[in-house]
Structure 1
Amino acid sequence: MRIGILSDTHDRLEMVDAAVGRLNTEQVDLVLHAGDYISPFVVPRLANLRSPMIGVLGNNDGDHHLLRERFAGHEHLSLRGAFAAVTAGGMDIGLLHGDDRELLQALIRQKAFDVVVCGHTHQAEV
């Protein structure tokens, strides 16, 4: 299973379009978004994904209600709350934004997930 990861897209529509294009070209099976969409007008761009996407809310996502409403209009897009437990490709994945570093470290220490995916730092890290 090929999983694409996005985070902190921050209304940067050109970058969202480029990322969606790349994820479609790579034919990923699932996309995880670790939050910070910022505004609901990014959702139609994410809807161009050919694979399902599961996302969580970030610390800069202000209008939760409207974001949820926009996501609900697309069957292959799912917006959870601040955290999502996802099983994909035989792996248990914890998905959160990551602005609460103490919570993030606790999830990692518990070893309840094979992988924990987060954003917030604007840095690619493994």
Structure 2
Amino acid sequence: NLPKIEKAVKFFNKRKAGFVIHAGDFVAPFAAEKLKALSCDFIGVFGNNDGEREGLSLVSQGKIQQGPLRITLAGRSILIVHDLNSINLREEDAQLVISGHSHKPHIQNEDSRLMVNPGECSGWLSRRPSIAIVDLDKLSPELVYL
């Protein structure tokens, strides 16, 4: 749903997001192309619905990669994974875990870490398009319905 992606990009730009993280299921390179309009940098992981991975990697200049990814932003350790069932969370020490796969928004504090699944931007399955924003200074999440 390209109009929803454009709406999300406008939201992030208006909120002056410092970085955008995508937890997978871009679906096609033409969808990921819309992220070039972001005013900030982004990174993402492939999801199970991302069949054209080479094209996604090319369009994103390598910013979309095989997960899980571990990064540090604003002094916070962040784990980006499409499907939580693909990892052993007990072996991870991330303060923030961003996941996708279920297409259902979910925010939870678990074992001294913040778990965020923003849902799905398109609203294709849920009929409620959603994204999330996290204040990394406070480790405070906000779920946003588009």
| Same fold, TM-score > 0.5, yes or no | yes
Query: Counterpart in 2 of 1:5?
Result: none
Task: Pick the aligned partner of 2:72 from 87, 99, 112.
Answer: 87
Q: Could you list the structure 1 runs, at least 4 aligned residues long, displaced by more than 2 angstroms after superposition.
A: none
Match of 1:124 among 105, 117, 139: 105
Q: CA RMSD in A?
A: 1.4
Secondary structure in structure 1 of the residue aligned to 2:11? helix
Unaligned runs of 5+ in 2: 108-146
The alignment covers a number of residue pairs equal to 107
| Aligned-partner residue type, residue 125 of structure 1 | H
* Partner Cα separation in structure 1 for residue 71 and residue 86 of structure 2: 21
Q: Counterpart of 2:39? A: 50
Q: Which has the higher strand share?
A: 2
1:10-63 alpha-carbon deviations (Å, 9 max, x no partner): xx1011000000000000100000000001001221100001001000001001
- Calculate percent identity across the aligned residue pairs: 30
Distance 2:86 2:97 in 1: 14
Task: State the AA in 2 paired with 1:53.
Answer: F
**TM-score, length of structure 2 as denominator length:** 0.69
Amino acid at match of 1:26: R
Per-residue deviation, 1:81? 1.1
Q: Comparing both structures, which one devotes a greater share of its residues to helix?
A: 1
User: Which structure would you say has the larger RCO, counting Cα contacts within 8 Å and 6 or more residues apart?
Assistant: 1
TM-score with structure 1 setting the length? 0.79
2:14 matches 1:29: no
